[in-house]
A and B are shown apart, each in its own frame.
Chain A
Amino acid sequence: MNLARSFTALNKLLNFVKITRTCVAQSHSQPALTAETYNVKRGNYSTTNASDLDTFRDIVGGNNVVTEASELQGNNVDWIKTVRGQSTVLLKPKTTAEVSKILKHCNERKLAVCPQGGNTGLVGGSVPVFDEVILSTQRMNEVISVDPFSGVTVCQAGCILEKANQDLLEHDLIVPLDLGAKGSCHLGGNISTNAGGLRLLRYGSLRGSVLGVEAVLADGTVLDCLSTLRKDNTGYDIKQLMIGSEGTLGFVTAVSILCPQKPKSVNVVFLGVDRFEDLLLLLRKARQDLGEILSAVEFVDSDCIGLVGKHLKLVNPIGDYDFYMLIETSGSNSQHDEEKLSSFVEDIITSQLAKDGTIATDFNKMQSIWKLRESVAEALTHDGYTFKYDVSLPAHVMYDMVHDTRKHLKGLYNSVVGYGHLGDGNLHLNVTCPEYNKTIASAIEPFVYEWTAKHNGSISAEHGLGFKKRNYIQYTKSKESINLMMKIKEMFDPNMILNPYKTLPDKL
């Protein structure tokens, strides 16, 4: 009798283990096809045939036309593994001329094209939805010129951000942009999404630091707006349309960026507090005491620290608090900066505005502290299916959104976390759950968008609209604006071949 009972118990245990393992396996294997998960219809495009492939091979060479399904797996799926396209062709041009010939052909044949850089986008904008031809910038990775006096750097769109930074180090320059995806993202993609990142606080938006853009339009026309001038008020600034239009108005092939001097002195402070309000008080004090040397102000909540500890084994250098703040300073004189920091730190500890904290004393420690913030996105991928929201909100209500989301989704989620660019008013709200299903999806959206609109925020501060958020654009932009955007799109791309199903809704 006892044997039978223990045998049943053992069976139950084995089944449980099998089910758990299958669930885990599912969350790490291929996501479902976008076309099957979302309500989207394939546009009236042609399908690539043998003759098209021959033409492509003539333009870029046989080696740079990829049609093998196994090789295309990575290019059809986004970085957070939430959408999957069905492209059967990937093209790897090396020059703007090649891109021009490709697009001219695709336009004539009415073949849809999906521009792809480092494929690190977070709104499903960098991968195909159906069988769009993937046009990749991976071979367009030359730094064309660097002017060490003005800091103006011209590079091809396929330059990886981190590599560009390393190349610029020789001239004591840095790219005015930094984000967690730096090891993989391409500058062309960064410009096409008007990426924000960790140092927007100090160096401003790409709309200010990008001086010129070279792009190829849908019909193959090369649009040369690749100026290296800081000031040029001659007519309408067309390059601004290329910036942030997510590859829907043109394929960016080269950029000219104004790069700042590499700071001589960098310091990182990591602080712990118990209330979100304290973060805002610290932010204000940091602006007052460290103003001109502030280069980044970020925050994470305790759930984030828990996740990076659990999934990535990253160690928290200070005690457990509800909120953490990362302050980075960059200046030209280490003595001055250390003095400013020292008195700031003394003030906040004496007044207990910060409960605890640490100052990184060497680069190693600085990187470790930055990792705590930059790896949150990666840690979330290990926590289940992630719904990512990136919103601009008034500072004082920012974390209320996290609280309200937790209440609203009670019982449905693994984690609801809040972190982000505190200094820019930009919250990254993430919800993880065991796996994607329509119940959770419909509970989350449009709840988060309505919440944002109620506070006059932006439903996408920096990630863009891509595939996932294009149908919510009206929560932030007026009907008139959207109408105008659609007219502009029609003018630039009458056959709608550039990155279809992205950025703008099909109709209002």
Chain B
Amino acid sequence: TMARVLVGVKRVIDYAVKIRVKPDKSGVVTEGVKHSMNPFDEIAVEEAIRLKEKKFATEVIAVTCGPTQSQETLRTALAMGADRGIHVEIPADDYVKTGPLQISKIFAKLAEQEKANLIILGKQAIDGDNNQTAQMTAAVLDWAQGTFASELKLEGEKLTVVREVDGGLETIDLKMPAVVSADLRLNEPRYATLPNIMKAKKKKVAKLTAKDLGVDLASSIEILEVADPPQRLAGIKVENTEELVGKLKEAGLV
């Protein structure tokens, strides 16, 4: 039995960009800012493709949820080697209020529709930092879950996952179907080569809405305010130990 893999990818602000809070504190500035695939999702896609290359999986389907621009991320996943893509289109206004709970329901419905038996997601998105979607998806589906995966091995119905936990590494055996969340050390994602980027243009991307899947996007969470962390106060450099002691005395610390 080979796996049919669903991989979730999210379009986020590139991790190297300096984030700016909007003056009205409603969110961060996204207009004209460089976006790319969530780094952990890239790792998830890479792992799925490796499973296919090793003949443990038959098909890799990349899924993204969001407004029109989210499709760019699907193209990257397809260029890396995913077979086809699904774009669950959520208009920008609704997308702002969408979180792990709604996304997990979408993934669950798609997994059923596509008859997937393995879902690989990034452990968290670098914008929300929620680290909830994989866990919630497994719960909705009542599937096994292996989170913070740094190693994955598939043998028939058994999935062995090495997890990165606070105390070190934990190895667990899961019975398929399962949801896995990818951690940093799972693999080194490949570059999309130009011939593959060209091939990706011909791969199928289906468009759906949350309504098509019967998922209610209503959220019980409302963002009140987004603010910068308090400014770090500048330190001063002193020329020698005498000056250091002098300054400490001045500040009443010695």
Contacts and interface: CB of A to CB of B under 8 A. Distances in A.
Contacts of A361: 36-37, 76, 192
Contacts of A334: 32, 34
B214 interface: no
**Which of A169, A264, A357, A358 is the most central at the interface, judged by chain B CB atoms within 10 Å of its CB?**
A358
Contacts of A358: 191-194, 197
A359 B197 contact: yes
B254 interface: no
Contacts of B206: none
B193 A63 contact: no
Interface string A293-318: 00000000000000000000001011
Contact of B194 (A61, A359, A365, A367): A359
Contacts of B36: 361-363
Interface string A327-370: 00000001000000000011001100010111111111101000
Name the residue in A334, A345, A361 with the highest tally of chain B Cβ atoms < 10 Å from its Cβ.
A361
Contacts of B190: 317
B193 A356 contact: yes
B59 to A, nearest CB: 23
A363 B39 contact: no
B229 interface: no
B19 interface: no
Interface in B184-204: 188, 190-195, 197-198
Given A362-B14, A362-B16, A354 B194 contact: yes
A349 B194 contact: yes
B15 interface: yes
Interface string A37-75: 000000000000000000000000101000000000000
A169 B198 contact: no
A346 B240 CA distance: 61
Nearest to A357: B194
Contact of B39 (A354, A360, A364): A364
Contact of B34 (A271, A350, A363): A363
A248 B17 CA distance: 41
A271 B197 CA distance: 13
Contact of A317 (B17, B18, B37, B191): B191
Given A357-B193, A361-B37, A169 B18 contact: yes
Contacts of A365: 191
Interface in B21-70: 32, 34, 36-37, 39
A349 B39 contact: no
B239 interface: yes
Interface in A145-189: 169
The A contact surface, by secondary structure, is: mixed
B16 A363 contact: yes
A61 B76 CA distance: 58
Given A362-B16, A363-B14, A363-B16, A264 B194 contact: no
B228 to A, nearest CB: 14
Contacts of A349: 194-195, 198
A317 B197 CA distance: 14
A318 B240 contact: no
Given A361-B76, A362-B16, A364-B15, A318 B37 contact: no
B38 to A, nearest CB: 10
Contacts of A318: 191, 193
Interface centre among B14, B39, B191 (most CB of A within 10 A): B191
Contacts of A169: 18
Contacts of B197: 345, 358-359
Given A334-B34, A345-B197, A362-B36, A63 B239 contact: yes
Interface in A240-284: 264-266, 271
B240 A63 contact: yes
Contacts of A359: 192, 194, 197
A363 B33 CA distance: 12
A169 to B, nearest CB: 7
A277 to B, nearest CB: 20
Nearest to B36: A362
Query: Residue among B18, B188, B192, B240 with the most chain A CB within 10 A?
Result: B192
A273 B240 CA distance: 57
Nearest to A367: B16
Interface string A369-396: 0000000000000000000000000000
A155 to B, nearest CB: 18
A182 B76 CA distance: 31
B127 to A, nearest CB: 14
B122 to A, nearest CB: 14
Interface string B155-198: 00000000000000000000000000000000010111111011
Q: Which of B39, B193, B240 has the most CB of A within 10 A?
A: B193
Contacts of A264: 32
A363 B126 CA distance: 14
**Which 9 residue pairs across A and B have the least CB separation, nearest first?**
A363-B16, A362-B36, A317-B191, A357-B194, A358-B191, A349-B194, A358-B193, A362-B14, A363-B14
Given A318-B193, A356-B195, A363-B34, 14 more contacts: A169-B18, A271-B194, A315-B188, A317-B190, A317-B193, A349-B198, A358-B191, A358-B197, A361-B36, A362-B16, A362-B36, A363-B17, A363-B36, A364-B15
22 contacts: A169-B18, A266-B34, A315-B188, A318-B191, A318-B193, A345-B194, A345-B197, A346-B198, A356-B195, A357-B194, A358-B191, A358-B192, A358-B193, A358-B194, A360-B191, A361-B37, A362-B16, A362-B34, A363-B14, A363-B15, A363-B16, A363-B36
